[in-house]
Amino acid sequence: MAQSRKSLISLKDTPYYHCISRCVRRSYLCGYDRNNRVSYEHRKSWVEQRLLFLSRVFAIDICAYAVMSNHVHIVLCVNKEAALSWSLQTVLHQWHKMHKGTVLTQKFMKGEILSESEYETVKSTADVYRKRLYDISWFMRNLNEYIARKANEEDDCTGRFWEGRFRSQALLTEKALLSCMAYVDLNPIRAKVATGLQDSYHTSINKRLNTSISQNKTIKGLMPLKSHQRCRNTRGLDFTLNDYCDLLNQSIQLLRNTDSIAAQTRPIQHVKPLGVCQHHWHHIISDFENVFSVAAGDGSSMRKFQANTKRKRMAKISSAAICFD
C-alpha cells in the first residue's frame, strides 16, 4: 500500500533525503535501446541540467545524483530556513523562473501599482509559493514533468513517462548520508556501464571532478564539500573531496572483488571511522535501497523518526542497528 508523503518526510528529523524516480515499465529514459535500436543517451544531459537548474531555484540543495538509463537517483538537502527568510520579491522571482505565476504576481514584479486587496492577494500567493519552494514533492514534480514532456515530444507520443510516485528515503545521520551518496555515485559502476569515477558520466562525483576543482570553485547546484571555499552561512558537506574519492575508489575495488574472502575481510581506511565494517559496507553500497526502507540511520534516530511520523512500525530497523549502531 502506498504511504502518504507526510509519513515519509520529517524535516524535524533530517533535511536529507534519497529520491528515486523510475520510468513506466522501466522503459528507456536514456542509453541505447537494443530492441528498437534507438539511442536516448542525450536525455541524460536533459535530466542533469534540469536538476542543477532546479537546485538554484528551490531552497533545496543537491548532495549527489546519478542519471541512469531508466531511473534517476538524487540525494537532496532541504533548506527550509532559507526559504522562510526570503523576501516577497525573492520568492516570486524564484517561482517565476519556472512558472508564469498569476496576473497579479506578474504586475507586482513589474513594479505596477496594486490596490491593497491585490497586494494582500499577492502576499497570500507568495506564501503558497514559498512552501512549495522547499517541498521535495514539488521539486520532483518540476523535474519529472519537464523531462516527460520533452521525451514525449521527441517520441511524438502521449501518456505517462514516469511511475506515478517517486520513492524517498530519509537519511537520518551523517553515516547514512555518506553511505547513500556513495551508493548513488557508484550506480554506473555497479551497472557495469563505467569502470571508474572519471567515466561515470552524469553523476555528481564526475561533475565535481571535472568542474574547476583545481581552482577550488563551487559547482552551481551542488552542495559544496568541506574542501571548497564557501561563503559564511552557506551549508556544505562535512568531508573533503579527496576523502570521499578515496572512499569511492576503495569501494569500487570491494565491488570488483566480491568473491574474494580476503577482500571482504580487509578493513577499509575511510569506512572504519564511520563504524561500518567492510562486510556491511559492501552490502550497503550494493543495495542501499533495500537494506533500508523509508529511513536510514542508527537505531535511535530510526525510533525518533518513527515517533515523529506517527508510524506504527518501522521497517528495517534491525538493518540500522547492524550497520550503524
Does 312 have pLDDT greater than 50? Answer: yes
Instruction: Please state the rounded mean pLDDT for residues 295-320.
Output: 88
Instruction: Quote the DSSP letter at residue 76.
Output: E
For each of the domains in the chain, give its residue range(s) and CATH number, in order of start: 11-82+135-324 (3.30.70.1290), 87-132 (no CATH)
pLDDT for 270 equals: 47
Among the ranges given (26-30, 237-241, 314-318), the one the predictor scored with the smallest mean pLDDT: 26-30
Highest mean pLDDT among 42-46, 85-89, 302-306: 85-89
Cell numbers 555528481 correspond to what residue?
204
Q: What tens digit of pLDDT does each residue of 113-164 get?
A: 999 999 999 999 999 999 999 999 999 999 999 988 888 888 777 777 787 7
Q: What tens digit of pLDDT does each residue of 253-283 get?
A: 888 876 555 554 555 544 655 767 777 888 8
Q: Is 283 helix (H, G, I), strand (E, B) or coil?
A: helix
pLDDT for 25 equals: 55
Reduce the secondary structure of the chain to three states and give it as a string: CCCCHHHCCCCCCCCEEEEEEEEHHHCCCCCEECCCCEECCCHHHHHHHHHHHHHHHCCEEEEEEEECCCEEEEEEEECHHHHHHCCHHHHHHHHHCCCCCCHHHHHHHCCCCCCHHHHHHHHHHHHHHHHHCCCHHHHHHHHHHHHHHHHHHHHCCCCCCECCCCEEEEECCHHHHHHHHHHHHCHHHHCCCCCCCCCCCCEHHHHHHCCCHHHCCCCCCECCCCCCCCCCCCCCCCCCHHHHHHHHHHHHHHHHCCCCHHHHHCCCCCCHHHCCCHHHHHHHHHHHHHHCCCEECCHHHHHHHHHHCCCCCCCCHHHHHHHHC
Q: What tens digit of pLDDT does each residue of 205-246 get?
A: 999 998 755 455 667 889 988 764 555 445 678 888 888 998
Q: What tens digit of pLDDT does each residue of 77-105 get?
A: 999 999 999 999 999 999 999 999 999 99
